[in-house]
Structure 1
Amino acid sequence: MEIWRRNLYILMVSQFLVMCAMSMIIPFLPLYLQEMGVTDPDQTQLWSGLIFGINFLSAFLMAPIWGNLADKMGRKIMILRSGYGMTIVIFLMGLAISPLQLLFLRLLNGTISGFIPASISLVATNTPKERAGYALGMLQSGTVAGNIIGPFIGGLMAEIVGFRTIFFLTSLTIGLATVVVNLTVKEEAKPDPEKKQKGFIADGSEILHQKALPILFLVGFMLQFAMVAPMPQMSLFVSDLGAPGGYIAFFAGLVSAVTGLANMLASPLLGRLGDKFGSEKVLFFSMLGASVFFIPHAAVSAVWQLLIFRFLLGLCVGGLLPSLNTLIRKNAPIGKESTAYGYSTSAVFLGNMLGPITGGVLSGIIGIRGLFLLTAFLLICGAFLLRRRLPDSPSQFQRQSHSQKVASK
C-alpha cells in the first residue's frame, strides 16, 4: 500500500477513536458536577458552560503556535505531543474532586490539544495534491463518526461503569490511538532542518498577507458559527414540534445524528469531486446547498420533516471543511502549511465559542425559526464572498485536458 494511503487510513481510524473518546463525556458532564456536590441547578449550568467552553478558548489561542511548531519540527511529533498529553490530562479528570479542578484540567486539555489539526496537516502535506480532497474527506468522515457514536457510548457506559471510569477509559483509548500512530504512521514530507526559520510573528504575518488565506479563515469561521448557532436550542425546538411518544432527548439526539451520518457519507464523495472539478466549486455549491436546506427548517411542523431536512443539510455540510482544508493547503506558502492550518483551526474554534452564545441571545429575540433564516443568509453571504474574492484554480480534470492539448501539439 502506498505510504500516503496507509497514513490516511490509520489516522482516519485514530481520529475516530479520539473523537469518540473525547465526546463520550458530553452527555454526563452536568451529572459529574452533581456527583462532586454541585446541587444547585443554576450553579450546575454555570459550571457546565464554563468547563465545556474553556477547552475551546485555550485551543483557540494555542492552535497557531502548535501549527507553527509543526512546520519547524514535524507534524507527526505534534500528533504524539497532543495524544500523550491528552492521555495524562483526561486521566487526571477522572480523579478531580471539585469543579475548579475540572475547569483547570479542561483549560490544560485545550492548551495541549491539536491531534485533529496535526493529523489534517500531516495528511494534507504527505498526500499527492490531486488526491488531497479525497483524503481530507475521508479524515472528516472519521471525525464525524466519532462525534456521532461517542455521546451514545458515553451515555450508555455512564449507566454501567460510572462517570469517573469513563475518563479512565477515554484516556486509555486516546493513548492506544497515539501509540498506533507512533508505530505505523510515516511522515515523508518533513521540515528541512537546515532551512533558516523565521519567528512566530514573522510566519504569522506571511500567512495573513497571502491573498486567499484570510478569506478562507473568515469563511471557516462563518461556516462553524452558522452551523453551531442553532444547536443549543434544538432540543427545545424538538419539544415544541411535539416529539413522538414524548421522547424529547432521543429525538433531539437523532436530529444531530442524522446530520452527522449524512456528513460522514458525503465527505469522501465531495472530496473526490473537489479533486476533479476544483475544491472552490465544491465549497461554493455546498455552502449554497446548506443555505437552501436551512430555509425549510423555519417552516417545519413535525419532527419527521426536521429529520429529512437535517439529513439533506448534512449531505451539503460534508463538502465544507474538507474543501476548505484542501484550499488552505493549495494556498499556503510551502513549508508553512501547518501554520496556516493553525490559524484556520483558531477561526473554527472561535465560531464554536461565539456561535452558541450568539444563537442563544438571538433566539430570544427572533426565535429559533428566525435563527434558521439568519443562518441561511450567513451561508449565502459566505458563499458569494468566497466566489468573489477567491478565483478558481485549475482542477485535476482541467490540468489533464491542458496537458493532453500540449502533448497533441
Structure 2
Amino acid sequence: MGAMSMIIPFLPLYLREMGMTDPEKTQLWAGLIFGINFLSAFLVAPVWGSLADKVGRKIMVLRSGFGMSVVILLTGLATSPLQLLFLRLLNGTVSGFIPASISLTATNTPKKKSGYALGMLQSGGVAGSIMGPFIGGVLAEVVDFRTIFFLTSAIIFLATCVVLFLVKEGVKPDPDKPRAGFFADGSFILHQKPLMVLFSVGFMLQFAMLAPMPQMSLFVSDLGAPGGYIAFFAGLVTAVTGIANMLASPFLGRFGDRHGAERVLFFSMLGAALFFVPHAMVTDVWQLLAFRFLLGLCVGGLLPSLHTLIRKNAPTGKESTAYGYSTSATFLGNMLGPITGGFLSGIIGIRGLFLVTAIMLFIGAWWLKTGLTQAKQGSTTKSAVSRKISSAQ
C-alpha cells in the first residue's frame, strides 16, 4: 500500500510531463486513468476469488504482486496518455494483493482470532497509505516521476518476495475435491442471503466514506488553513483519520473476536455516522481535525469486522470466492462514491454532503442489523422445514 500510494497523487503531473498542457484535458484523463483501475478490478475480483478456492490463496497474492510489479515497471516507460490508460486497466486486472491477503489471512487464522489478525492487516495497509504519499512527495523533489514508478515496482516485488519465502499457507484447497464452474460458484454465493447483506453493507461503507474525499482539500481552503498552508492541512486531515484508523483496527478486531464482529461493525457504523454530522458544522480546521480523528477511530472497526463476518458466513471451501464478490462490491463503492459526491456537492455543498453521508451510514447500520437478522431467521426456518421433511420420509 505504501508503494502503490506513492504514485497515485502524481498521475496528473505525469500526464503533464508527457506534454499534456490543457488543464481540462489533463483533469479528464487523470480521472479516467484513476478510475479505470477500479473498473477492471471490480470486474475480475470474483474470478480471482473463485480461482483462489481452487488453487490456493498464497499463489493469488504472488500472482498479484509480481504482476503489478511488471505492469508498474512498464508504466514508468509509457510515452502517451493512451498507453498509461491501458497499463492502469491492466494493473486493475492483475491487482488484488490486499483482497488476496485478506483471504489468505482469514482462512489461515483460527476463527477466534481472525478479527485481530484482519485488524493488524488493516493497520499495515493504512500505515502504508499514510506514508506512501509523503515518501512519494519527497522522492518527487529528488528524482523524476518515471524513477518513482521504477522504485514502486521494486518495492512491490520485494514485498511479494517476503510473502513467497516467509508466509506459509497451512490451510489449502483439497486438489482432489470436485469443483463447480465459475458461474455455478458465483450463483451459489449470490444466493447466500447473509453474504448479500454483507456485500451491500460493504458497498455502502465505501461509497459513504469516499464520497466526500475529493472535496476535502476545497473544504480546508474554504475554512481557511492556518498560515495559508492549504496543501499541508489538506494532507493532515486525511492523515489524522488514517492514524486513528491504524491505532483502532487491532483493538477493535480483538474486541470483535471476544464480543462479536457484528456488534463492532454495527456500533462502528453508528459512530462514524454520528461523527460525520458535526463535520457539517465546523468553523475552523482544528475542529475538523478533531472530528476526523474521532471518525478514524470508528473507521478502524469497519472493514476488519466486515471481513470477519464474511469469513464466518461463507460456505466452507468458498471463502475466497465470497471475498472476491465482496471486493467487487467495495470497488464499486470506490468508483461511484467520489463521482456521486462530486455531483451532490455541486447542488447541496460539501456540508450537505457530510449530512447525506451520515444518513447513508445510519441506513447501512440499520440494514446490517435487520438484514442479517432476517437472513438468519430464514435459514433457521429452512433448516426446520428440511428436518420435518426428513422425519416424515
TM-score range, shorter chain: over 0.9
Q: Determine the structure 2 residue equivalent to 1:74.
A: 56
| Mapped partners of 2:191, 2:170: distance in 1 | 28
| Mapped partners of 2:275, 2:190: distance in 1 | 33
| Mapped partners of 2:312, 2:83: distance in 1 | 42
State the shift of 1:155 in Å. Answer: 1.1
Calculate percent identity across the aligned residue pairs. Answer: 78
| Mapped partners of 1:127, 1:22: distance in 2 | 26
| Mapped partners of 1:386, 1:232: distance in 2 | 27
Q: Determine the structure 2 residue equivalent to 1:352.
A: 334
Other structure's SS at 1:24 match: helix
State the shift of 1:26 in Å. Answer: 1.9
After TM superposition, list the pairs within 5 Å mapping 1:238-317 onto structure 2: 238-317=220-299
Matched, 1:341 2:337: no
Q: Determine the structure 2 residue equivalent to 1:234.
A: 216
After TM superposition, list the pairs within 5 Å mapping 1:41-120 onto structure 2: 41-120=23-102
| Mapped partners of 1:64, 1:22: distance in 2 | 22
Task: Decide which of 342, 361, 372 is 1:379's aligned counterpart.
Answer: 361
| Mapped partners of 2:17, 2:280: distance in 1 | 39
| Mapped partners of 1:139, 1:357: distance in 2 | 28
Q: Determine the structure 2 residue equivalent to 1:197.
A: 179
State the shift of 1:80 in Å. Answer: 0.6
Task: Decide which of 99, 118, 125 is 2:107's aligned counterpart.
Answer: 125
Runs of 4 or more consecutive aligned structure 1 residues displaced over 4 Å after TM superposition:
none
Could you tell me whether the CA contact under 8 Å between 1:278 and 1:392 is conserved in 2? no
Per-residue CA deviations over 1:173-201 (Å, capped at 9, x if unaligned) read 00011111111111111000111000111
Q: Determine the structure 2 residue equivalent to 1:25.
A: 7
Q: Which runs of 5+ in 1 are unaligned?
A: 1-18, 394-409
| Mapped partners of 1:76, 1:359: distance in 2 | 36
Task: Decide which of 156, 165, 168 is 1:183's aligned counterpart.
Answer: 165
Could you tell me whether the CA contact under 8 Å between 1:281 and 1:392 is conserved in 2? no
Q: What TM-score do you get using the length of structure 1 for normalisation?
A: 0.91
Other structure's SS at 2:193 match: coil
| Mapped partners of 1:351, 1:389: distance in 2 | 19
| Mapped partners of 2:83, 2:141: distance in 1 | 24
State the shift of 1:27 in Å. Answer: 2.2
| Mapped partners of 1:31, 1:385: distance in 2 | 42
CA RMSD in angstroms comes to 1.2
Task: Decide which of 118, 135, 160 is 1:136's aligned counterpart.
Answer: 118
| Mapped partners of 2:65, 2:367: distance in 1 | 36
Could you tell me whether the CA contact under 8 Å between 1:280 and 1:392 is conserved in 2? no
Could you tell me whether the CA contact under 8 Å between 1:51 and 1:106 is conserved in 2? yes
State the shift of 1:392 in Å. Answer: 11
| Mapped partners of 1:196, 1:309: distance in 2 | 52
Q: Determine the structure 2 residue equivalent to 1:398.
A: none
Amino acid at match of 2:4: M
| Mapped partners of 1:211, 1:291: distance in 2 | 25
Q: Determine the structure 1 residue equivalent to 2:379.
A: none
Q: Which runs of 5+ in 2 are unaligned?
A: 376-393
| Mapped partners of 1:28, 1:274: distance in 2 | 38
Could you tell me whether the CA contact under 8 Å between 1:266 and 1:319 is conserved in 2? yes
Could you tell me whether the CA contact under 8 Å between 1:94 and 1:167 is conserved in 2? yes
Aligned residue-pair number? 376
